[in-house]
Structure 1
Amino acid sequence: FINLIERITYQKWHINITIVIQDSFKLQTITLIDSGAQMNCIQEWLIPTKFFKKTKQRLSTANGENLSFKFKITDVHICNDDICIKQTFILVKDLDIGIILTFYVNKNSKIKRRTPRLVINYKPLNIVLQWI
Structure 2
Amino acid sequence: MNCIQEGLIPTKYFEKTKQNLSTTNGENLKIEFKVTSVHICDEGIYIRQPFLEIIKPFKIKTEGITTKIFQQKILFAFNEKPITKDKTFSLFEEHSVNLIKTKENHLYFMK
TM interval, short-chain normalised:
0.3 to 0.5
TM-score (norm 2): 0.46
Structure with more strand by fraction = 1
Q: Which structure would you say has the larger Rg?
A: 2
TM-score (norm 1): 0.40
Structure with more helix by fraction = 2
Structure with greater contact order relative to length (CA < 8 Å, sep ≥ 6) = 1
